[in-house]
Chains A and B, each alone.
Chain A
Amino acid sequence: MEQAPRDPERQLQPAPLEPLGHPDAGLQAAVGEEAEGARDEGSGEGTMTENNFWLKKIEISVSEAEKRTGRNAMNMQETYTAYLIETRSVEHTDGQSVLTDSLWRRYSEFELLRNYLLVYYPHIVVPPLPEKRAEFVWHKLSADNMDPDFVERRRIGLENFLLRVASHPILCRDKIFYLFLTQEGNWKETVNETGFQLKADSRLKALNATFRVKNPDKRFTELKHYSDELQSVISHLLRVRARVADRLYGVYKVHGNYGRVFSEWSAIEKEMGDGLQSAGHHMDVYASSIDDILEDEEHYADQLKEYLFYAEALRAVCRKHELMQYDLEMAAQDLASKKQQCEELATGTVRTFSLKGMTTKLFGQETPEQREARIKVLEEQISEGEQQLKSKNLEGREFVKNAWADIERFKEQKNHDLKEALISYAVMQISMCKKGIQVWTNAKECFSKM
């Protein structure tokens, strides 16, 4: 695991917050097991493994979801779901946990938190939120946001998000994140006060805008391609999985009809009656077993979905780099042209086209004083420009270094998580097969007794 940079000065964007050094601060989280913990039923616990820097462990859970009604910004009634976030600090020595904070948040607040993190940590692959609307549904699942199953899966997803952030060596130290977990009222105002929305580069929102970068960083280009591929292949996989689930559901459920018909038929059969009846019962068992099986599979799909959205986050980092590079190139270009202008003014030769040159030609030469003044302005601008270019370059290099560090961290996490997910999928399949063998063995016995 990488070393977390503890010096706030070295963080790329000056964050409007103090470093978290208070011993009382509930949040001194460490890196740890977040993915697995989130998969447990009920209130998942993210127990953090010990990382030598931190003094206290914390546990975060999104333990409940509640339907609420309220008034929105336009003073209209709306229904939404609120989620209870509980934070516990774990005593190092005896492992006992104490509830330190508990508050309710709705999905839009999570979004706000994430948007903030995206702006202030552009070099970080920021963990994604669970989907806003149910997608890749197979027909039995409803695409309704109020559907209890969807809400439940979202609860787990939100918990997972918090755990991911809490276990990220850099993000976990963010104060806004800390306040998100601890300060229920006024948190929105606090976030907005940071002015992060202004900092957000509106150009990033124009997703399709291409910036012609003359010297693109090969690694980032490759990474961008990779993230596109990852998005595409996971989407495809999820779509097919949904269809497969649909079909599998059909196969199982139709067998349930046997149960009913066998039962009715058994009424007229003397010798075969019992066998038919009990076989029918097993057919019912078989048919109803698919519900649990597919519910488990839905969790697997959620694991894949997380990485589908992670691909988006990865892409965002590439985009930001691209923008940065573009700005850098523009600044360099601008500087070069100013220098050239300056030189031309000084030597009196006009090689490049300039508006001033044109007007001079049209309206007559300017006075030496005027020219001197202009040269001076330009020289100031050039000096400023050189400073800016220098700092931009530095910024760029820092960005690349930090981004790659986080990308490496992300890669390892992804490989680990996806491998685990595939293994868990295999485990699910094995369980399904075992159930199938059992049911059909029972049914066979009943048939053979007919």
Chain B
Amino acid sequence: MEGERLASQARSSGLPAGGATGESPGVDAPLLGSSGSSALLQAEVLDLDEDEDDLEVFSKDASLMDMNSFSPMMPTSPLSMINQVKFEDEPDLKDLFITVDEPESHVTTIETFITYRIITKTSRGEFDSSEFEVRRRYQDFLWLKGKLEEAHPTLIIPPLPEKFIVKGMVERFNDDFIETRRKALQKFLNRIADHPTLTFNEDFKVFLTAQAWELSSHKKQGPGLLSRMGQTVRAVALSMRGVKSRPEEFMEMNNFIEIFSQKINLIDKISQRIYKEEREYSDEMKEYGPIHVLWSASEEDLVDSLKGVARCLDQCCKATEKRMSGLSEALLPAVHEYVLYSEMVMGVMKRRDQIQAELDSKVEALTYKKADTDLLTEEIGKLEDKVECANNALKADWERWKHNMQNDIKSAFTDMAEENIHYYEQCLATWESFLASQTDLHTEETSEDKPESH
């Protein structure tokens, strides 16, 4: 359909006709102003935001509630809505397990892209079967995210990994990149599964279970992008207004997320930098040990000592590699996810502001125009409900998000500390055993008491 094609073009603008390599290449976003030496990966965050803006706008039909989802919140009145949106009772027993693996390259005449295998295991009744296996590409994830945002504009949707890396990758999608992305995609889906509301979203279910052609046809339903795009300009104008009338608690929220975003970005950069330094340290260490072995070839009496030191250095080098892989498994992806998450939250705040602004502008219209007061009043009524709903949804989800964030950060850093402890313990053991071997020989050989130099 027309709308759909435009959508795919808007989201992945500039798809070259002649065989693009890699997934959904888009426009190069400007670098976030860091020097060449420190920037290893630069998120294409801005680009992602632009997409979000397109999808941010709500179609006039699904303004209040998501009619498509099996969400437990089927409000009849604002009051009952408030009661519904307390996410205290998270599902203690997970009944939906999702894995993302087996990246595969697909080549067509137009493009090359990668699909991932998604396996879902579930005991839920709503699902026709207990196990599903499908293949999805990044575009499909983008679609899903868009649908979720559309359905729940003021819920904090989990972030997707970046579309692509801006800086110097000769081979656009190398193994490291794909692996990092795979892990992030898996996290994305599991976060949705863990979310008390999002987990019951219909599009989510379709994403997990439908075969390729089923998904395509499902995608074509729903309001076209054209109508959504028309709202964009207005949305921007509205959000400016919404900021001014923001209630206190959301001001606090906003302040928090702004500072948090700053700090988590810094931490992301620092962590990446540490990884880089450790990699360079490890590279140098690889050369360090062997020199001692080389030396031992010309020293009869020092062979044991020199080879011993070489062994220790090699062990330490291995330990460093292990520490690095620990970092890249736990800390780096966790911190980076929260960099993206903070962007999402800021987007959610904006959307809330926009909803509020819509209401405010109608109220203003009412005070100035006397005509159509009935219509306006009705509209205002609806909008007031909408605002209330949005605010409550956000408040509850905010608490949940913060709680998760604290746990995730805590666990990521505790992990990092453990990796470091383990690293030093390993190194300590190897040097101590060397020292023991030397001092044993030492006391055997010499008759004089020579004090060991410290």
Kindly name the residue among A230, A244, A275 whose own CB sees the greatest number of chain B CB atoms within 10 A.
Answer: A244
Cα–Cα distance between A437 and B294 once the two chains are bound (Å): 32
Residue A142 at the chain B interface, CB threshold 8 Å: no
Query: Are the C-beta atoms of B305 and A447 separated by less than 8 Å?
Result: no
Residue B340 at the chain A interface, CB threshold 8 Å: no
Select from chain A the residue with minimum beta-carbon distance to B428: A433
- Provide the residues of chain B in CB contact with A430, threshold 8 Å: 428, 431-432, 435
Query: Are the C-beta atoms of B291 and A237 separated by less than 8 Å?
Result: yes
Cα–Cα distance between A425 and B292 once the two chains are bound (Å): 13
Query: Are the C-beta atoms of A241 and B288 separated by less than 8 Å?
Result: yes
Cα–Cα distance between A258 and B335 once the two chains are bound (Å): 13
- Provide the residues of chain A in CB contact with B278, threshold 8 Å: 251
- Residues facing B in A138-165 (CB within 8 A) are none
In the complex where A237-B291, A247-B277, A415-B302 touch, is A441 in contact with B421 (Cβ < 8 A)? yes
Partner of A443, one of B302, B417, B431, B450: B417
Query: Are the C-beta atoms of B452 and A427 separated by less than 8 Å?
Result: yes
- Provide the residues of chain B in CB contact with A366, threshold 8 Å: none
Residue B174 at the chain A interface, CB threshold 8 Å: no
Cα–Cα distance between A422 and B309 once the two chains are bound (Å): 7
Cα–Cα distance between A234 and B299 once the two chains are bound (Å): 12
Query: Are the C-beta atoms of A423 and B285 separated by less than 8 Å?
Result: no
Count of residues in B whose CB is under 8 Å from the partner chain? 58
- Provide the residues of chain B in CB contact with A265, threshold 8 Å: 259-260, 263, 267
- Provide the residues of chain A in CB contact with B263, threshold 8 Å: 261, 264-265
Residue A257 at the chain B interface, CB threshold 8 Å: yes
Cα–Cα distance between A258 and B287 once the two chains are bound (Å): 30
Query: Are the C-beta atoms of A429 and B427 separated by less than 8 Å?
Result: yes
Residue A39 at the chain B interface, CB threshold 8 Å: yes
Residue A418 at the chain B interface, CB threshold 8 Å: yes
- Provide the residues of chain A in CB contact with B432, threshold 8 Å: 430
Select from chain A the residue with minimum beta-carbon distance to B423: A436
Query: B273-292 CB contact bits vs A (8 Å, 1 = yes)?
Result: 11001101100110110011
Query: Are the C-beta atoms of A423 and B281 separated by less than 8 Å?
Result: no
Query: Are the C-beta atoms of A448 and B424 separated by less than 8 Å?
Result: no
In the complex where A244-B285, A437-B421, A444-B421 touch, is A419 in contact with B259 (Cβ < 8 A)? no
Query: A432-448 CB contact bits vs B (8 Å, 1 = yes)?
Result: 01101100110110011
Query: Are the C-beta atoms of A233 and B270 separated by less than 8 Å?
Result: no
- Residues facing A in B219-257 (CB within 8 A) are 255-256
Query: Are the C-beta atoms of A237 and B302 separated by less than 8 Å?
Result: no
Query: Are the C-beta atoms of A433 and B421 separated by less than 8 Å?
Result: no
Residue B418 at the chain A interface, CB threshold 8 Å: yes
Select from chain A the residue with minimum beta-carbon distance to B316: A429
Residue A108 at the chain B interface, CB threshold 8 Å: no
Partner of A433, one of B292, B299, B305, B424: B424
Query: Are the C-beta atoms of B424 and A268 separated by less than 8 Å?
Result: no
Cα–Cα distance between A272 and B438 once the two chains are bound (Å): 47
- Provide the residues of chain A in CB contact with B414, threshold 8 Å: 444, 447-448
Residue A243 at the chain B interface, CB threshold 8 Å: yes
Select from chain A the residue with minimum beta-carbon distance to B452: A423
Query: Are the C-beta atoms of A434 and B428 separated by less than 8 Å?
Result: yes
Residue A78 at the chain B interface, CB threshold 8 Å: no
Query: Are the C-beta atoms of A440 and B421 separated by less than 8 Å?
Result: yes
In the complex where A424-B453, A450-B410 touch, is A437 in contact with B284 (Cβ < 8 A)? no
- Provide the residues of chain B in CB contact with A441, threshold 8 Å: 417, 421
In the complex where A426-B438, A433-B424 touch, is A420 in contact with B418 (Cβ < 8 A)? no
Residue B425 at the chain A interface, CB threshold 8 Å: yes
Residue B370 at the chain A interface, CB threshold 8 Å: no
Residue A226 at the chain B interface, CB threshold 8 Å: yes
- Residues facing A in B409-438 (CB within 8 A) are 409-410, 413-414, 417-418, 420-421, 423-425, 427-428, 431-432, 434-435, 438
Select from chain B the residue with minimum beta-carbon distance to A299: B453
Residue B295 at the chain A interface, CB threshold 8 Å: yes
Q: How far is the CB of A109 from chain B (nearest CB, A)?
A: 29
Query: Are the C-beta atoms of B452 and A240 separated by less than 8 Å?
Result: no
Residue A250 at the chain B interface, CB threshold 8 Å: yes
Query: Are the C-beta atoms of A240 and B266 separated by less than 8 Å?
Result: no
- Provide the residues of chain B in CB contact with A444, threshold 8 Å: 414, 417-418, 421
Residue A229 at the chain B interface, CB threshold 8 Å: yes
Residue B301 at the chain A interface, CB threshold 8 Å: yes
- Provide the residues of chain B in CB contact with A433, threshold 8 Å: 424-425, 427-428, 431
- Provide the residues of chain B in CB contact with A448, threshold 8 Å: 410, 414
- Provide the residues of chain B in CB contact with A420, threshold 8 Å: 450, 452-453
Partner of B302, one of A255, A271, A418, A425: A418
Query: Are the C-beta atoms of A229 and B298 separated by less than 8 Å?
Result: yes
Residue A36 at the chain B interface, CB threshold 8 Å: yes
Q: How far is the CB of B338 from chain A (nearest CB, A)?
A: 12
Q: How far is the CB of B282 from chain A (nearest CB, A)?
A: 8
Give A residues with C-beta under 8 Å from B: 33, 35-36, 39, 226, 229-230, 233-234, 236-237, 240-241, 243-244, 246-248, 250-251, 254-255, 257-258, 261, 264-265, 267-269, 271-272, 275, 279, 415-416, 418-427, 429-430, 433-434, 436-437, 440-441, 443-444, 447-448, 450
Q: A233-B298, A264-B259 are in contact. List 6 more A-B contacts (CB 8 A).
A: A233-B291, A423-B435, A429-B427, A430-B431, A433-B425, A437-B424
Give B residues with C-beta under 8 Å from A: 255-256, 259-260, 263, 266-267, 270, 273-274, 277-278, 280-281, 284-285, 287-288, 291-292, 294-295, 298-299, 301-302, 305-306, 308-309, 312, 316, 406, 409-410, 413-414, 417-418, 420-421, 423-425, 427-428, 431-432, 434-435, 438-439, 442, 450-454
Can you spell out 19 A-B residue pairs with CB atoms less than 8 angstroms apart?
A39-B453, A233-B291, A246-B284, A248-B281, A261-B270, A418-B299, A419-B301, A421-B453, A422-B302, A422-B305, A423-B439, A424-B454, A425-B309, A426-B435, A429-B312, A434-B424, A434-B428, A437-B421, A444-B417
